[in-house]
């Protein structure tokens, strides 16, 4: 099932996750800060405690980060414990994330949690976009974001939920559910906004007329 997205802000959010440096030939510098680190020379295993990695307006932080390659030219990093991916206006949170870097840029991120969540607020007066699922997978090459496991995406008065949701950046569409027999389908909820008061033309119940006295 394909549903046209009424707003294009999710596209802006997840393009930002790849950092502003994607449009440049030379990636922005990557800054890593950690409370402590250990290195196993034999295995090449790196462990960072209370780590934050920044590139441009994007940052990734967690209690623990592990990798086998310090350079970000072609490396996979595993983050665990209070994982947060931030941009100026976006926040993705989970308990674990596997992030693949190529040519010093983020190309794929898999974030899991109970649930993993997305929250993005525009500087404009639009409604915030909120989403959650057991696993969120961003794939830069495919131009998609997958939400799997009790997936939900909402903006304003509308909410869409299902076992799986797929956001296609190029088509600016949400693909919900699956044609296979195991699919649990999709559910869309529209919640009318409160008027904040009585609508025009609404009248109060008529008060009872005072009792008439019997004429003498």
Burial of 147 (0-12, 13-18, 19+ CB in 10 A): buried
Query: DSSP states of 76-87 as a string?
Result: EEEEEEEEEEE-
- SS3 state of residue 63: strand
Please report the pLDDT score of residue 195 as a whole number.
61
CB 129 within 8 A of CB 154: yes
Please report the pLDDT score of residue 87 as a whole number.
80
Domains parsed from the chain with CATH numbers: 2-20+32-190 (2.60.450.10)
Maximum Cα–Cα distance across the chain: 115
CB 33 within 8 A of CB 51: yes
Q: 199 or 21: which carries more pLDDT confidence?
A: 199
CB 96 within 8 A of CB 80: yes
Instruction: Express each pLDDT in 61-81 by its tens digit.
Output: 999 999 988 888 888 999 999
Task: Report the share of the chain in percent with pLDDT over 90.
Answer: 29
Does the pTM exceed 0.75?
no
Q: Taking the alpha carbons of 71, 73, 76, 81 in that order, is the dihedral positive or negative?
A: positive
145 sits in which H/E element? strand 144-155
Question: What confidence category does residue 209 fall into, taking pLDDT thresholds of 50, 70 and 90?
Answer: low
């Amino acid at each position: 099932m394909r549903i046209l997205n009424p707003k294009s802000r999710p596209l802006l959010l997840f393009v930002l996750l790849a950092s502003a440096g994607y449009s440049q030939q030379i990636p922005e510098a990557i800054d890593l800060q950690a409370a402590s680190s250990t290195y196993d020379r034999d295995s090449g295993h790196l462990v960072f405690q209370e780590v934050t990695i920044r590139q441009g307006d994007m940052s990734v932080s967690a209690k623990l980060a592990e990798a086998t390659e310090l350079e970000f030219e072609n490396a996979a990093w595993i983050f665990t414990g209070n994982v947060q991916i931030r941009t100026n206006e976006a926040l993705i949170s989970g308990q674990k994330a596997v992030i693949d870097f190529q040519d010093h840029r983020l190309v794929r991120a898999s974030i899991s949690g109970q649930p993993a969540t997305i929250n993005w607020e525009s500087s404009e007066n639009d409604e915030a976009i909120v989403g959650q699922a057991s696993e969120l997978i961003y794939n830069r090459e495919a131009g998609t974001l997958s939400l799997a496991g009790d997936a939900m995406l909402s903006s304003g008065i509308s909410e869409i939920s299902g076992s799986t949701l797929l956001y296609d950046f190029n088509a600016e569409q949400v693909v919900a559910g699956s044609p296979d027999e195991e699919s649990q389908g999709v559910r869309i909820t529209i919640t009318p906004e409160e008027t904040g008061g009585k609508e025009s033309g609404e009248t109060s119940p008529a008060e009872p007329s005072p009792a008439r006295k019997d004429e003498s």
